Amino acid sequence: MRKLSLLYLFGLGLTGCSAPCTGHIEATVLYFKQAPQGQLAYVNVLNKPDLGSQQNLMRDDKEYGTFPHVVIINDPAMKFKGQRAICFDEFIKQPPPADVDLRELDIPRISITK
């Protein structure tokens, strides 16, 4: 029982690390990946399902999980580093880079403008 209480308190501490949601589109961060400039945020969009696509994500050659509305957010300034959720209003769709992993070819990529 004591271990369960500690895990609960640890989980509460993690959720406190995210900035307050200030946009109308909300996404839960699944994980971050280093990019040539900055990082990529792999997220599951919660309230705009037509933005993302269902994906079975792999990480370190292991299945990470299947998520219904995955989007990759380009974050060159790393302003979302360490956040558990990313909220935004405006974005630009981006084409996949020339060296894209073929498993990620059909994951929508965006850059947040606001």
Confidence band of 4 (pLDDT split at 50, 70, 90)? very low
- Tell me 89's DSSP state: S
Specify the DSSP element, H or E, that contains 85.
strand 85-88
- Return the pLDDT at 103: 80
CA neighbor of 31 nearest in space, from 103, 80, 91, 101: 80
* Structural domain spans, the chain: 20-112
Amino acid, single-letter form, for residue 60: D
- Return the pLDDT at 39: 96
Whether the Cβ atoms of residue 84 and residue 15 lie closer than 8 Å to each other? yes
- Residues in contact with 75: Cβ distance below 8 Å, sequence separation at least 6, in sequence order: 32, 35, 38, 39, 40, 41, 81, 112
List pLDDT tens digits, range 53-86: 999 998 888 888 999 999 999 999 999 999 999 9
| Mean pLDDT computed over 78-105 | 90
- 102 pLDDT higher than 60: yes
- Return the pLDDT at 15: 43
List pLDDT tens digits, range 9-56: 334 444 445 556 777 999 999 999 999 899 999 999 999 989 999 999
End-to-end CA distance of the chain: 44
